[in-house]
Amino acid sequence: MNPTETAPTTDLEHSPVGELVHSHATGAQWLSRYNSSLLGVFGTPQRVLVRGSGCLVWDADGKEYLDLLGGIAVNALGHAHPFVTSVISSQLATLGHVSNFFTSPTQIALAEKLLEITRAPAGSKVFFANSGTEAVEAAFKLARRNAGPEAQPRTRIIALEGAFHGRTMGALALTAKEAYRAPFAPLPGGVEHLPFGDIDALRAAVDNTVAAVFLEPIQGEAGVRPLPDGYLRAAREATSAAGALLILDEVQTGIGRTGKWLASEDAGIMPDAVTLAKGLGGGFPIGALVTYGPDTSALLTAGQHGTTFGGNPVATAAALATLHVLENQQVLGHVREVGEHLRAGLAAVDGVTEVRGEGLLIGFDLDADVAPAVVTAGLGAGFIVNSPGPRTIRLAPPLILTTEQADRFLAALPALLQTAKDAQ
């Protein structure tokens, strides 16, 4: 075919992708090809997934799973949501990509919608990226632009022990875990990690040499660890007094995950910037930085930052569709209810020592170091969960998880714990 000709219409079934989805290769065969062709940064994946619907996914061997991880807090509306799917397809069939020499209605409408749901004041602005780490990277550059006067420059940036902000170099400098950082030294300088949740340490550290403080309202990767009450307010007071930016990383906690648009909503403070990603696109890659008010928004000017794909029409249409469903089907109230039900159920399970989190971002601790074995037992029994620590399990399921699905997991959990302990 002449490449300038329009390709004949083809359905997925008869395309090269359809052939892959319907391939008879086993999971083991796929994984062997995976290990020969993909860089080993993720190790060997647990399963080869071929299909999803709502909160369920199926692997290449035909086994069904209840997905209680949701692509790590990404699949807000589950898999293959019909409305999101049709909006993405229609947008792609209309206009797929334009570059940032141009804009598109979906990009503008999504920016306006994000300013509304994040309660950003007049003069606030949005920058679109493609992932969480890129949203944080933009925030890092924003922080550097809060440079202070030449006589007293703001060279320091504060983050917390246990923090996870991403894997690109700026975001990695903010991430605390030594195993992630050490192989890539030297990282961008000036970042200090303070003890988690220690308000006095924060007050002592923040002065006019600090450009920004980065905080996750709930540390997801550290095992779903919420900041103590009063911490965000104290951080706002200390940063305001010192002229430092308060930047909240809501990549994991934002967009309804905790039953609110932002996990920080109830703290009654206004940050200087918020990063978003994960659930925003309902499974389609997109990240965003919201800068609050005209002064902070003026810190990054024309030419100082950019990305080819950021704010792409398909990604922004996917996010608009996701936000539309979350809003119009009262999903946030549902998240609060099912989350509360799930946490209460978990707290009653023998062997569970602590339950943390809000909405459908839940971490629970076990009475033994068997969390990775629980993940394996879960896969065997048809449940996808995650272990961010040796005795911690994290759940971040689609926000449409039903009470019945939550109950199915609660009923299975005692046996999963037993299987995990027996395997030790």
Ligand X SMILES: Cc1ncc(COP(=O)(O)O)c(C=O)c1O
Q: Catalytic one among 249, 284, 383, 409?
A: 249
Q: Catalytic one among 59, 278, 284, 364?
A: 278
Contact status: 57 vs ligand X (CB under 6 A): no
Contact status: 226 vs ligand X (CB under 6 A): no
Least gap, CB of 74 to ligand X (angstroms):
8
User: In 130-276, where do the E strands start and end?
Assistant: 156-160, 191-194, 210-215, 218-219, 225-226, 245-249, 273-276
Q: Catalytic one among 128, 164, 214, 284?
A: 164
By C-beta, is 166 or 259 nearer to ligand X?
Answer: 166
- What is the size of the binding site for ligand X (CB under 6 A)? 14
Question: Interface residues for ligand X in 145-184 (CB under 6 A)?
Answer: 164-166
By C-beta, is 288 or 377 nearer to ligand X?
Answer: 288
Read off the tokens for 102: 């141009």
The span of 22-30, 120-128, 216-224, 411-419 binding ligand X (CB under 6 A) equals 216-224
Contact status: 284 vs ligand X (CB under 6 A): no
- Pick from 203, 201, 171, 198: nearest CA to 184: 171
- Is 61 designated active site? no
Read off the tokens for 393: 């399990």
- Is 249 designated active site? yes
Least gap, CB of 250 to ligand X (angstroms):
7
By C-beta, is 257 or 391 nearer to ligand X?
Answer: 257
By CB atoms closer than 10 A (0-12, 13-18, 19+), residue 149 is: exposed
SS3 382: coil
Least gap, CB of 24 to ligand X (angstroms):
33
- Cβ neighbours of residue 208 under 8 Å, at least 6 residues apart? 148, 152, 154, 242, 243, 244
Least gap, CB of 133 to ligand X (angstroms):
3
Read off the tokens for 120: 């950003």
Alpha helix ranges (H) inside 191-247 = 199-205, 231-242
Least gap, CB of 174 to ligand X (angstroms):
9
Contact status: 131 vs ligand X (CB under 6 A): yes
The span of 98-106, 215-223, 300-308, 377-385 binding ligand X (CB under 6 A) equals 215-223
The span of 27-35, 150-158, 188-196, 247-255 binding ligand X (CB under 6 A) equals 247-255
By C-beta, is 56 or 224 nearer to ligand X?
Answer: 224
Q: What is the CA angle 403-277-144, rounded to 5?
A: 145
Contact status: 220 vs ligand X (CB under 6 A): yes
Least gap, CB of 131 to ligand X (angstroms):
4
Between 89 and 118, how does the x/- string for binding to ligand X read (CB under 6 A)?
A: ------------------------------
Residue type for position 315:
A
List phi, psi (to 5°) of 249.
-90, 100
DSSP state of 285: -
Separation of alpha carbons 143 and 234, rounded Å = 19
Residue type for position 3:
P
Q: Are 211 and 147 in contact (CB under 8 A)?
A: yes
- Is 278 designated active site? yes
Contact status: 358 vs ligand X (CB under 6 A): no
User: In 123-272, where do the E strands start and end?
Assistant: 125-129, 156-160, 191-194, 210-215, 218-219, 225-226, 245-249
Q: Which of 249, 315, 342, 406 binds ligand X (CB under 6 A)?
A: 249
- Helix (H) or strand (E) segment spanning residue 374: helix 371-381
Contact status: 133 vs ligand X (CB under 6 A): yes
Enzyme catalytic residues: 164, 249, 278
Tell me which residues touch ligand X (CB under 6 A).
131-133, 136, 164-166, 216, 220-221, 249, 251-252, 277
